[in-house]
Amino acid sequence: MTVAVKGRARLVVLISGRGRNLAALIAAVNDGRIAADLVAVISNRVDAAGLALAREAGVPVLVLPHVDYPDRAAFDAALASALRALEPDIVALAGFMRILTEDFVREFEGRMLNIHPSLLPRHKGLNTHAAVLRDGDAEHGATVHFVTPQLDGGPLVIQGRFTVSAQDGAQQLAERVLEQIECRIYPQAVAWMAGGELRCEQGVPRFRDRPLSAVLSLDDLEPGF
C-alpha cells in the first residue's frame, strides 16, 4: 500500500520502553526538521518510561496493555482500531517490542517504519549487540526499514555504521548504536517520509521519485540530523 502525504503529515509513534528514539523524534518535530504533527504515542506497556516523555511534550498517549488481551490477534485488532481513529500517515515503531500479525501489517503496510539495532539483514530479532560480539563482526550499526510481515525483513531505507572496538561490550555497543546512529537516522527517515520524499510502492522503496537501488547511509543525512 502506498500512502501519499499531502499537507502536514500525521505521525503516530509506538513504544514499549524508555523512549530514547521517541525523544529524538519529538525534538525533530518540535524544531521543524520533521514536517509532521505527532498526534499520539501508543504503548503496549503501562510502565513504559517513554510515556512520561510524551506527556511532558504535550503529546496524547494511549496505553493498550497486551496482557489484557487473550492473544496476539486480539491485541493487534485493538491497536488497528486505535490507529484507524487517528488516521496516521506515518506509524513509527520506536522500540515497540511486539511481533505484529500479518493482517495488521498488511493494513498499514507502506505507512510503517521500524528502527532495528543491527546492519540488516544481519542479526534480526533480539540480542543483536551480543550477536555482533559472538560473531566477531568488524562493524555494527542500525537500520531503518519499512515494516512487512517478515520480522525485520522489510525494504531497507538507511543504515548507519561504525567500527567495533576491542573495548566494546554489549552494553557499550547498545549505547553507541543508539546515540551515534539510531537517534540520527530515524528522525531523518521519518522527515523524508513526512515530506513525501520517501515512500514504498509494491514493496519497492522510492526516494525522491526514484527506486532506492542501494540503502542510504550517514553520508546522505541532511544538515541537522
Other C-beta atoms closer than 10 Å to the C-beta of 166 total 4
- Catalytic residue list contains 123: no
The active-site residue, picked from 116, 123, 140, 145, is 116
Q: How far is CA 61 from the centre of its chain?
A: 17
Distance CA 43, CA 54 (A): 11
Q: Which three cell numbers stand for residue 187?
A: 528522525
Distance CA 68, CA 145 (A): 29
Q: Which three cell numbers stand for residue 103?
A: 493482517
Among candidate residues 114, 117, 122, the one with its CA nearest the CA of residue 144: 114
Q: Which value, in Å, is the radius of gyration of the alpha carbons in the chain?
A: 17
Q: Which three cell numbers stand for residue 108?
A: 498499514
15: Cβ–Cβ under 8 A, 6 or more apart, which residues?
22, 41, 42, 43, 48, 50, 51, 94, 95, 96
Which residues have a catalytic role annotated?
116
